[in-house]
Amino acid sequence: MKPVAPGPKPAAPQGVKPPGTAAPGAPAAPRPTQPGQAAQPGVKPVAPGPKPAAPQGVKPVAPGPKPAAPQGVKPAAKPAQTVLAPTKAETVAERGKRKLGQVLIDLGFIDEDQLWELLEEAKQQGKQIGQAVVDRGLINSEQLLQALSEQHGLKLANLSETKPTPEAMAIVPETMANIYKILPLAFKDRVLTIVVSDPANATAADDLRNLLSLNEVQVQLASPEAMQEAQAKAYNTTKEESVIDVIKELETSGQWQGGGREASIDLESALEMADSAPVRKLINMIFLMGIRDRASDIHFEPFEEEYRVRMKADGVLYELVPPPRQYATAISSRIKVMSNLDITERRLPQDGRIELNVGGNQVDMRVSVLPTLFGESIVIRILDRTAVKLELDKIGMAPEILEPFKEVIEKPNGIILVTGPTGSGKTTTLYSALSYLNRVEDKIITTEDPVEYEIEGLVQCPINHEIGLTFASALRAILRQDPDRILVGEIRDLETAQIAVQASLTGHTVFSTLHTNDAPSTITRMRDMGLEPFLITATVEAVLAQRLVRTICQNCREEFRPSAEMLIELNLTPEQVEGKPFFFGKGCDKCNNTGYKGRMGLHELIIVDDDIRDAISGSLSTDDLRAVCEKKGMISLRESGMRAIHRGKTTIDEVVRETVLESN
């Protein structure tokens, strides 16, 4: 039972809400204040719990029955051997491991009474037990390291005497070492020895074994300081190998000079090439660059004369140096092997995924393969679940939007819509809203296509069109599961809209998205779908339109005076911007000379009140509806952009590109 205030579910109006009852800005039904506010819902990290100093999820280095990637065996259609990150199942076997506290007692560093005190202290101060015991001066950091090595069965590395070998550094490039937070120590007979400073990072061993096609990866432990020092020394003297170097290697390798185009390449040699060191290295490097630069997707595109690789970061596509055209099949085969797809199938589209475990974070890559005229076009969508902080306060909403938005999403029923084109950050906003509302006494169910973030405490149901599980059918089933709040990935049709309305009328809050350009047109769009205006006024509580614009690089930002032409683009006169500052980024190393770094949202929020309800019932046009909303204080996307420009956050170009001037 939920500890909800008196009576059953509050304000679940059967039938239609008469226009005019809900006072404008009426506060949501009072929420019970719960003692100790349930644990803040976090995005699910791979290792359970927050970044641990004494993590549980560490894999024993012991050989185990892991399928050692067989070397020398021709990988004829045997994708299974390269399946990445079989991590989840293994952690189960780790449950029996001693807790760090117990190890400290067994080593005689502390006694049981001290442990209880330390546990209490660690909990109160949000520290790891290991840190707490060092802070108290009961042990030094070396003794902590000793305890951790004992707990996780990891050998201690002696970095003052053992230096990374050139072979080890050659196989693990600096970027890879940095991203995985490891130091390569030795490499012999296809066995790599690496050092980590956080036992949680031992999970990198699996990825590395697969990425580098190794027989085994052994893990040792060292202090963060020792590791950093050794790493700085080691890589300082070697120039990092770049994508260009690898491509040169491919061009001159001579292994496969003759290859012209698809037709002349038989599968066998393509597979051989796919498994060759330079191809593997190139793909690993591209993937790691994508992860490092927080790219959202990577595109491999074969054309008649060239093979193009592009990467999208901050919403903009960048082209990388193109690999030799004749390697297209080898590259796509390698990606298909990594994503566990059928490599012999080259005429039908396929979808797969690659999971990597990078620096203790799970990175999920969705792979889509499409046969084209000149070979397979591959798009990889990178879902780095840790890249986004899903906290409503931290997604860059201006306070004048954030406060009313927070208030309206607390309502016990109604429909909240977030709109904007693909890639406008709708999903992040909705998840942040749900995370904000994620409390023990509320049940939240989502249905999505695909599930983009896993959030603890939410029941998440992926859509599957192939078997007929659509938003509408999922939503019907969800309503039988007694949720309080529901997220429907998208309202695409009248059927889904009707069920959403029904859900709202029976006392649920429904969150969803619509593909419309701005907030007022969302209302008219629902009407055009065939939804009766009285059902819209009875249910829709708020519409938030959103765009993402690139933010100016803070390292090279400069103020400037816009020309008359630029002002005309913004439909402004020089008098209107008199004394108001404008900025741009000159370009520097920190921003790849683009002048931009990161992105921010522009927002337009309609809180539906009596006047707006009247306007909706009156079947006003989008423009008239917009006029009413603006009179009620709605800040338009363009206005939100202007504010961001003057605050030095973004540029005229970005705002002009992402927001249209509303007709007056």
The footprint of Zn ion (CB under 5 A) covers: 553, 555-556, 588, 590-591
Nearer to Zn ion, 566 or 588 (CB): 588
Nearer to Zn ion, 272 or 314 (CB): 314
Nearer to Zn ion, 88 or 590 (CB): 590
Q: CB of 311: closest distance to Zn ion in angstroms? A: 19
Q: CB of 292: closest distance to Zn ion in angstroms? A: 17
Q: CB of 591: closest distance to Zn ion in angstroms? A: 3
Q: E strand or H helix at 363, and its extent?
A: strand 361-372
Q: CB of 651: closest distance to Zn ion in angstroms? A: 13
Nearer to Zn ion, 161 or 589 (CB): 589
Tokens of 393: 């306060």
Residue 69: half-sphere exposure toward Cβ, Cα within 13 Å: 25
Q: CB of 564: closest distance to Zn ion in angstroms? A: 27
Nearer to Zn ion, 226 or 588 (CB): 588
Angle, CA of 590, 592 and 593, to the nearest 5°: 100
Q: Which CA distances in Å does 559 have to 29, 46, 398, 602, 658?
A: 47, 43, 22, 21, 21
Q: CB of 594: closest distance to Zn ion in angstroms? A: 7
Nearer to Zn ion, 444 or 591 (CB): 591
Among all residues, whose Cβ is closest to Zn ion? 553
Nearer to Zn ion, 408 or 591 (CB): 591
Residue 182 to residue 203: CA distance in whole angstroms: 11
Contacts of 81 (CB under 8 A, 6+ apart): 67, 69, 70, 75
- Could you tell me if 362 and 403 are in contact, meaning their C-beta atoms sit under 8 angstroms apart? no
Contacts of 324 (CB under 8 A, 6+ apart): 247, 250, 251, 307
Residue 84 to residue 209: CA distance in whole angstroms: 9
Nearer to Zn ion, 496 or 651 (CB): 651
DSSP letter at 38? -
Nearer to Zn ion, 316 or 660 (CB): 316
3-state secondary structure of 218: strand
Residue 456 to residue 490: CA distance in whole angstroms: 22
Residue with tokens 């906003």: 429
Nearer to Zn ion, 56 or 650 (CB): 650
Q: CB of 648: closest distance to Zn ion in angstroms? A: 13
Residue 186 to residue 276: CA distance in whole angstroms: 22
Q: CB of 589: closest distance to Zn ion in angstroms? A: 7
Q: E strand or H helix at 243, and its extent?
A: helix 243-252
Q: CB of 596: closest distance to Zn ion in angstroms? A: 8
Q: CB of 313: closest distance to Zn ion in angstroms? A: 14
- Could you tell me if 199 and 157 are in contact, meaning their C-beta atoms sit under 8 angstroms apart? no
What is the sign, positive or negative, of the torsion defined by CA atoms of 47, 50, 51, 56? negative
Q: Give strand pairing partners of 352.
A: 367
Longest CA–CA span in the chain (Å) reads 81
